[in-house]
Structure 1
Amino acid sequence: MAMFCTDIDGTLLNPDRTLSPRTIDAVRAVRAAGHNFVLCSSRMPESMRILERLYDGADEPLIAYNGGLVLSRTGAVVHDIAIAPEHARKIAGYCAEFDLHASFFAGEAWHVWGEDQWTAREINNTGVSPHPMSSKEYVSSGRVEINPPHKIMCMGEQSLVDGIEALLIAEPGVVTYRSKDTYLEIANAACSKGLGVEAAAQELGYSKDDCYFFGDNYNDIPAFAAVGTSIAVANGKQAVLEAATITTSRHHDDGVAAYLESWLAAGSQLDA
């Protein structure tokens, strides 16, 4: 048996930002054959479950927040690396001073700065609704101490995002990732997709050689080191293409599905 693990954005989704019928069929076929299919993303758990429901895969572990939170098949927390509350407060302070949107993702909860264009865009992109408690109240109420964030996303004018990125360079406890000029994702420096994949593999009882990972971006490279076979989609960054064992088709050409179909077909031929 094998564990197939995949990044979502830029790797698994079609141009409509969902799963194509071909991908759904391929994932169902892999699971019907007794293998596991695990999602690994910077997204929050509920956003990932929306995709899981398309192929009836709610019984799989989830690797959320780039490996900062791993949930078991039953939803229990098996790996948890959150941002330290003092770092979260520092980020909130900067954002309050310069009116920069800051979304705080803590476990299953998404706290937003306010009802602005950035919140509306994320709702559209992920299909998830924010928690009634705002980011500002989440921090000021002390909730940040009890349930610290696994990810903070700062969104706004490029100059303001540049400022928070520069501020955090001197903070060894956090790592930043610039997905675009107006977006900055922040996480605990100790978390990685590689550690998340290892936690999921241990939960399911897989050895490294029986694990596969699909990715396209720099934060997928640590996951490549945690598996026996790493597969880059053809639209991936050059460093990702060079680090991968195999390259499949582009995400918009159903590259993950194409690989799964070929893998299953090869297994059937070997069994014949």
Structure 2
Amino acid sequence: MPCKMICSDIDGTILNTSHQLTETTRRTAAEALAQGIRIVLVSARMPQGMEPIRLALSLPDTLICYGGALITEDGLAVFNRFLPLSEAEHILNAARQLHIHSSLYRQNHWIIEQPDAWAQQETDITGLVPEIVPFPDVFRQWNEAHTGPNKILFMAAPHDITVLKQAVEQEAHAGLICYRSKPTYLEVVPKDGSKRQAVSFLCKRYGISSKDILAIGDGENDRDMIAFAGIGVAMGNASDAIKQTANFITRTNDADGWAFAIQQFL
């Protein structure tokens, strides 16, 4: 099956569990690029957290960020979706009552209200440092600008994340979707900003059919992207639900699963 564009998740997929690119991955990416295949990184990360990986692989300057809510080309937003402020504030209040860490993200801004161990953990993973601003001030500015966050990230012990996720789903918020990216993380993004919708946007923009896309990932938010692509690949470390969606199951991210999968279709 032909492949014209590879849409790849980052954490748990193209990076190993030490958050590193292996030499095999670098070499395979270079081989794909040499064959004229476009590689686009697709992640829940913010642009700045994706840029070092893009540069390390010498990829074109196109990034799908925040789980599909933002697409940048040459650093400029070409697709931008954000959460309704009223729904975002409601969920933040619920998280505050459960003493759950909340992070707001918009384009290249990561905002928290006060430093804690969870924020430090994110800094250790991404190398980024958050801005510290009271959320009411942020929401006041966004309300005046008629905009909002691309993503909210909640971090807490698994039980607390389960409680918050159930509360959000019971409210049936129309303008958002939420998913667990790991047991201690709950990501909330706009309903019209999924990875599938972002990849579909690029297909139309670049004149590429979905059947010529290879999409690879390991997480819950990768499922619709994997199902959309002509070649849907699940990592060996993905859940059974993700694997059932895929056309091909590769090795784990600690066994060069990304490179192994791409090599099958070069």
Q: TM-score, normalised by structure 1?
A: 0.87
CA contact (8 A) 2:61 2:75 kept: no
Q: For residue 109 of structure 1, what is the aligned residue in structure 2?
A: 109
- From the superposition, tell whether residues 149 and 250 of structure 1 become closer, same or farther in structure 2 (CA, over 3 Å): same
Q: For residue 50 of structure 1, what is the aligned residue in structure 2?
A: 52
The C-alpha deviation readout for 1:29-55, integer Å capped at 9, x for no partner, is 211222111111111111111111111
TM-align CA RMSD: 2.1
Of 28, 31, 37, 1:29 maps to 31
Give, as a single letter, the amino acid of the residue that structure 1 aligns with 2:152: I
Partner SS, residue 121 of structure 1:
helix
The C-alpha deviation readout for 1:111-155, integer Å capped at 9, x for no partner, is 01311111100011112222353545323x433553411110112
CA contact (8 A) 2:153 2:188 kept: yes
Q: For residue 268 of structure 1, what is the aligned residue in structure 2?
A: none
Q: For residue 188 of structure 2, what is the aligned residue in structure 1?
A: 186
Q: For residue 71 of structure 2, what is the aligned residue in structure 1?
A: 70
- From the superposition, tell whether residues 241 and 100 of structure 1 become closer, same or farther in structure 2 (CA, over 3 Å): closer
Give, as a single letter, the amino acid of the residue that structure 1 aligns with 2:142: R
CA contact (8 A) 1:85 1:145 kept: no
CA contact (8 A) 1:101 1:113 kept: no
Q: Which moved more, 1:192-201 or 1:152-161?
A: 152-161
Partner SS, residue 62 of structure 1:
strand
Give, as a single letter, the amino acid of the residue that structure 2 aligns with 1:133: V
Q: For residue 142 of structure 1, what is the aligned residue in structure 2?
A: 141
* Matches of 2:243 and 2:183, distance apart in 1: 23
The C-alpha deviation readout for 1:149-170, integer Å capped at 9, x for no partner, is 1110112345544443343221
* Matches of 1:165 and 1:209, distance apart in 2: 34
- Sequence identity percentage: 28
Give, as a single letter, the amino acid of the residue that structure 1 aligns with 2:117: Q
* Matches of 1:151 and 1:35, distance apart in 2: 30
Partner SS, residue 129 of structure 2:
coil
Q: For residue 198 of structure 1, what is the aligned residue in structure 2?
A: 200
> What is the aligned residue count?
261
* Matches of 2:249 and 2:163, distance apart in 1: 37
- From the superposition, tell whether residues 208 and 98 of structure 1 become closer, same or farther in structure 2 (CA, over 3 Å): closer
Partner SS, residue 176 of structure 1:
strand
The C-alpha deviation readout for 1:64-93, integer Å capped at 9, x for no partner, is 111111223x23322222110111222333
Q: For residue 94 of structure 1, what is the aligned residue in structure 2?
A: 94
Q: Report deviation, 1:172.
A: 2.7
Unpaired runs of at least 5, structure 1: 265-272
- From the superposition, tell whether residues 164 and 236 of structure 1 become closer, same or farther in structure 2 (CA, over 3 Å): closer
Give, as a single letter, the amino acid of the residue that structure 2 aligns with 1:43: R
CA contact (8 A) 2:161 2:186 kept: yes
* Matches of 1:133 and 1:113, distance apart in 2: 5
Give, as a single letter, the amino acid of the residue that structure 1 aligns with 2:174: P
The C-alpha deviation readout for 1:15-34, integer Å capped at 9, x for no partner, is 31121111011111211222
Q: Which moved more, 1:161-170 or 1:228-237?
A: 161-170
Give, as a single letter, the amino acid of the residue that structure 2 aligns with 1:12: I
Q: Which moved more, 1:208-217 or 1:149-158?
A: 149-158
Partner SS, residue 254 of structure 2:
helix
* Matches of 2:136 and 2:22, distance apart in 1: 38
Q: Report deviation, 1:97.
A: 4.4
Q: Report deviation, 1:256.
A: 1.3
CA contact (8 A) 2:180 2:220 kept: no
Q: For residue 269 of structure 1, what is the aligned residue in structure 2?
A: none
